Structure formats: structure tokens, C-alpha cells
Amino acid sequence: MKKIGVWFILMTMITTMFAPVSYAKEESGPELVESAKSAILLERDTGEILYEKNSGESLPPASMTKIMTMILIMEALDEGKLKLNEKVRASEYAASMGGSQIFLEPGEEMTVEELLKGVAVASGNDASVALAERIAGSEAVFVKQMNQKVKELGLTNTKFQNTTGLPANDHYSTAHDMAVMAKELLKHEQITKYTSIYEDYLRKGTDNEFWLVNTNKLVKFYTGVDGLKTGFTREAMYCLTATAKKDDMRVIAVVMGAESPKDRNADISAMLDYAFNHYETESLYERHQPVDTLKNIRAAKTKVDVVTSESVSVLKKKGQTIENVDEKLVYNKNLTLPIQKGEIVGTLTITSNGKPLSKTNVVVNETVEEAGVWTLFKRSMSELVKQR
């Protein structure tokens, strides 16, 4: 495998020269979060934890539940099962949702894009259920899909009972799990087009025009914040999963159980300040950038690009040097045809002096079908002719 020539500036302090490349908060680290019951801060590309406080404690996530709802919505859009300009008719059940809402009427039609704005900006419970019913047929089936996605992400401390985050028994998550879900949602880069909106309108120019105002005030008041989702119930108190990008680095910060919106925003801001003041990343690959070519003589198309499943970066403390950065691509054993577009076929590992810095799944960027008998026969004959 090729070697990446990545050289960083010389260290400013000799003590950083031999520091291990590990960024999880130590016991003696800064206490960034005062109000919230639990919190976590991580860098998006590498998944490295920069700070945490009780991040594994199970708590009600309130409307941060909609992060998983939006993951499934974005997947449906990517797969062509849903279109932004498609109109969705609101059921009586969807229109009956309490709490935050965009006040859908039974039988009212809105486009998928309008409903997605209603979820991402105004945290509309009615919009969430309307989209869930369109994708899965019912909210109950959609919730099963949400919990299946939880398993696929390897999360063990999350369980959903609805698409909205309205109070329900046995409905819980953790700051850690919410951060992982946010990382997954951010693979769909278009989502920040909606979560970054501070204000907009639905039904504009009509008698029942609705003013959308983002429940995440940091979108307006903290430079670089472009999502993702707030949450509040009396049980959950004030919660927020936020993301911000500065230069090449994107971070995710989560707080759960803060005492007030002001405390919630202060805790998130403190974590974001810490991340951007002390860390930086070097981008190596964009999402879906080719890293290799998969060759299979038995495939209908013998060569297909292997691409990154998400963006790949190296994280370092400011002023730190990381030397001898290499990449290693290892394919999964016993790959069999057909291979579906987006299917994981291997792992790209970035190392420094043999120490792993990041590990990213690689996928094929198109479906690889098995070649037919006639195609295989012609290839065999062609090889025989070459050997003569």
C-alpha cells in the first residue's frame, strides 16, 4: 500500500514529543461541563473522545431521538425510496401529536422537504410521525427500524419507543450513543442544509403560515454550529446534540439533563471552545473518495472503485507532530458476488509509527453483479488466446 507523506510543524514543547496519540479525557483533565448530568465531546472523522462526563449514563433523550429519525429519513432519500419534492398526506394520528409541532391538519399535504424542515428546525413531532408513516407504513414499524439501526451501529445503551422523544417507558439513550448517532447522521452532508436554518416559513403566503424558528440557538450565536438537535421534557430537562466545523475539523458535543437552556448552551460552548482551541485535524480523504480498485474476474464489471464510507482525517493536539503516517487497506475475507452498492468490503487504517490513528470502513461505489456464463466463457477463451 502506498505511503502518505504527511508532515506537520515541529513541536513547541519537548514533552509533547513522546506523548501517545490518544485524546480521551483523563481524570486530571478540564472540567468543561457544570450543569448537565452527562456530556461528551468527540471529533467526527476519527471518533476520538476529547472530553466526557458520565457519558454512559442512561437518560431520556427527549427530542434528540429525532437524530435517529433523521438518519432513516436521509437513508430513504439516498436510496431513492423518498423524494424531497414528493407530497406526504398527514394522518389523523400524525396530526394528533402533542408537544413541539408544525400544526399539521389531518389530510394536509406537505412535501418531504417541508416536513424535514419541520423536524430539523422546529422539532415537529407531527412532521416526524408523518414521515415515519410514509417510510415504514406506521410509526410502530419505523420504531423497529430505528432500534435495528441502533444494533447496526453497535450501541448497547439505547432503546426507542417512538420517533419523537415524547415521554415513554423504556425509552432511553446516553450521551455517548447520541454522539455516535450524530456521527452517522453527518455522513449525509445535506442534513446540515436543514439543521443550520435559523428561521424559515411553512405554508408561506397562506392564512395559516407557520414561522419556523430553530430550537438550537447556537446556530445563530456560535460561529460554525450547523446542527443538530435539541431536546426538552420535564423528565429529560434540557438536552442538545450540537455539531460545529472550523477549518478541516468537525466536532460533536452532547449534553443531557442540563438545568436550563442557558446552562445547556454554556456547556456546549465550553466543549466547542476547548476542541477548537486545543486540537486540529489534517484531512486525508473526503467521503466516497476512491482509495483502491477492486478486481474480480468473475464479476460482470471486473474493476470497480473502492471508496471511503466517510471522511478520513488525522487528529492532533495543536503544536504536536505526528511522523511516519501510513495507510493500510485490508479487504474482508471471502467476499462473494453480488456485492451491493455501499456494502463494506474492507477497512482502511491510518497509523503513525505503527500506532493506529483512525480506522474507516471502505465500500464499493456501485453494485457488483456476477458475470453470466457466456461472459465468463468469452473471458476464458480470450485468456487462452493470449497465452498462445
Picking from 239, 358, 369, the residue whose alpha carbon sits closest to that of residue 302 is 369
Active site positions, annotated: 63, 66, 123
Rounded CA gap, 134 and 142, in Å?
9
Helix (H, G, I), strand (E, B) or coil at 282: strand
Q: Strands, E, within 234-343: which ranges? A: 237-246, 249-258, 279-285, 290-295, 303-308, 312-317, 325-331
DSSP annotation of 173? B
DSSP annotation of 15? G
Do β-strands 312-317 and 49-53 pair in parallel, antiparallel, or remain unpaired? unpaired
**Would you call 343 exposed, middle or buried from its count of C-beta atoms within 10 A (0-12, 13-18, 19+)?**
middle
For the annotated binding site for substrate, the residues are 229
Quote helix, strand, coil % in the chain, to nearest 5. 30, 30, 40
One-letter amino acid of 128: S
